[in-house]
């Protein structure tokens, strides 16, 4: 039980990778606060943890909203008093239908052995609202939770923060300029905060997964998924268990000498 007596908060814990991390931390003894913007999803993960005899509480909130995030922290700190592990995982991927259609056409050209000729148009047609919402969820959300978590961790002089980045942030993902920018920002934020708090015994790292089989990828068209697989030397999507294992490693004492790093389980997509 690597996390006996530890208190963790996992954002976006109602689905996919966050749910697997929350379940994994709870299975190894942590008390887990499960955040999600969808209250029913957070409650469902809590129910699954409790069914496995773990301890958890649902703390629904939109992490893009600083006030709502502060309220969420106040709520679970009132009950559990401390925070040892923060996993900034909440995220979303938006793609306009015309960009998906353009991607399909592009994939068709590539499959036919031709160079693509038409614009994807993801950046040239990006609406302000989509751009800002993507950055708000990922970058503001990670900042809001880290700010509140550090108030506790700096006082305790210990803590682990794990930020969910992506290969989009290390290599760029065509068709998702907002998402790629947000994930790149999360990586730079991770490195900056890691340097800031290292002397206090707090480690801050990022995970940059490749393509993982979760509801987030449902927006991709079949041709986009096929292209992602073709660019992944291991030839398959990753599983949420594989990303949860990386997160639990970074949260555990074995990783105490690791800070400011980007661990990228990506099936060889980026080598
Ligand atoms: P998912 O859609 O299964 O889960 C994301 C969860 O975050 C959802 O339950 C959603 O309700 C929640 N969420 C969204 N916006 C929120 C907000 N503002 N506040 C609180 N909760 C919010 O997706 P996933 O694949 O498990 O993604 C988890 C993280 O991993 C994301 O940061 C994503 O960008 C990242 N990631 C995913 C992949 C992949 O291929 N699936 C690859 C790299 C990185």
- CA 37 from chain centre, in angstroms, equals 14
Q: How far is the CA of 241 from the centre of ligand 1 (A)?
A: 15
CA 227 to chain centre: 22
Instruction: Catalogue the active-site residues.
Output: 179
Whether 223 shows a pLDDT value over 90: the answer reads: no
> What are the helix and strand counts (H, E) for the chain?
10, 7
Structure tokens that stand for 91 in this block? 């995220």
Please give the pLDDT value at position 170: 98
Are the CB atoms for 259 and 204 separated by under 8 Å? yes
Q: Is 205 in contact with 190 (CB distance < 8 Å)?
A: yes
Atom of ligand 1 minimally distant from the CA of 167: 43
216 Cα to the center of ligand 1, angstroms: 6
Average pLDDT over residues 16-26: 98
DSSP 8-state assignment for residue 269: S
Return the C-alpha torsion angle 199, 200, 202, 206, nearest 10: -40
Contact status, residue 79 vs residue 57, Cβ threshold 8 Å:
yes
Give the tokens for residue 128.
């302000």
Residue 106 pLDDT exceeds 90: no
Assess contact for 52 and 23: CB atoms under 8 A: yes
Q: Is 164 in the pocket of ligand 1 (CB under 6 A)?
A: yes
3-state secondary structure of 232: coil
Lowest mean pLDDT among 35-39, 124-128, 167-171, 221-225: 221-225
Question: Ligand 1 in contact with 267 (CB < 6 A)?
Answer: no
Q: Please say if the pLDDT value at position 88 is more than 90.
A: yes
Tell me the average pLDDT across 264-269.
98
Cβ atoms 241, 247 nearer than 8 A: no
SS3 61: coil
Contact between 86 and 203 under an 8 Å Cβ cutoff? The reply is no
Site to probe by mutation for ligand 1, drawn from 92, 93, 142, 244 as the one with most ligand atoms within 8 Å of Cβ, is: 92
Distances (CA, A) of 104 to 119, 226, 261: 12, 11, 35
Long-range contacts of 109-113 (CB under 8 A, 24+ apart): 110/227, 111/223
User: Which atom of ligand 1 is found nearest the CA of 237?
Assistant: 40
Least confident stretch, 32-41, 45-54, 174-183, 217-226: 217-226
Q: Greatest CA separation found in the chain?
A: 60
- Whole-number Å distance, alpha carbon 267 to ligand 1 midpoint, is 19
Determine the residue of 9, 10, 14, 18 to mutate for testing ligand 1's pocket, defined as the one with the most ligand atoms within 8 A of the Cβ atom: 18
pTM greater than 0.85? yes
CA distance 118 to 229: 22
Does the Cβ of 16 fall within 6 Å of ligand 1?
yes
Cβ–ligand 1 distance for 62 under 6 Å, the answer yes
Look up tokens 């005899």; give the residue: 53
To 10 degrees, what angle do helices 141-156 and 177-197 make? 10
């Amino acid at each position: 039980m690597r996390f006996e007596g530890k208190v963790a908060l996992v954002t976006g814990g109602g689905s996919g990778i966050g749910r697997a991390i929350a379940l994994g931390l709870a299975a190894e003894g942590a008390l887990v606060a499960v955040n999600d913007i969808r209250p029913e999803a957070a409650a469902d993960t809590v129910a699954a943890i409790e069914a496995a005899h773990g301890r958890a509480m649902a703390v629904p909130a939109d992490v893009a909203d600083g006030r709502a995030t502060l309220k969420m922290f106040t709520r679970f700190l009132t009950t559990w008093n401390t925070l040892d592990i923060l996993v900034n995982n909440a995220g979303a991927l938006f793609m306009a239908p015309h960009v998906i259609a353009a991607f399909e056409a592009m994939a068709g050209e590539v499959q036919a052995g031709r160079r693509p000729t038409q614009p994807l148009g993801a950046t040239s047609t990006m609406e302000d609202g989509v751009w800002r919402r993507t950055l708000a969820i990922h970058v503001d959300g990670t900042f809001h939770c880290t700010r509140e978590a550090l108030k506790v961790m700096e006082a305790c002089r210990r803590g682990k923060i794990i930020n969910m980045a992506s290969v989009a942030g290390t290599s760029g993902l065509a068709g998702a300029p907002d998402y790629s920018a947000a994930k790149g920002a999360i990586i730079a934020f991770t490195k900056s905060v890691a340097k800031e708090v290292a002397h206090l015994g707090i480690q801050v790292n990022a995970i940059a997964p490749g393509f993982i089989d979760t509801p987030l990828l449902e927006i991709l068209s079949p041709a986009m998924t096929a292209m992602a697989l073709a660019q992944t030397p291991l030839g398959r999507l990753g599983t949420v268990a594989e990303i949860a294992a990386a997160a639990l490693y970074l949260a555990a004492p074995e990783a105490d000498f690791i800070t400011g790093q980007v661990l990228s389980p990506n099936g060889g997509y980026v080598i």
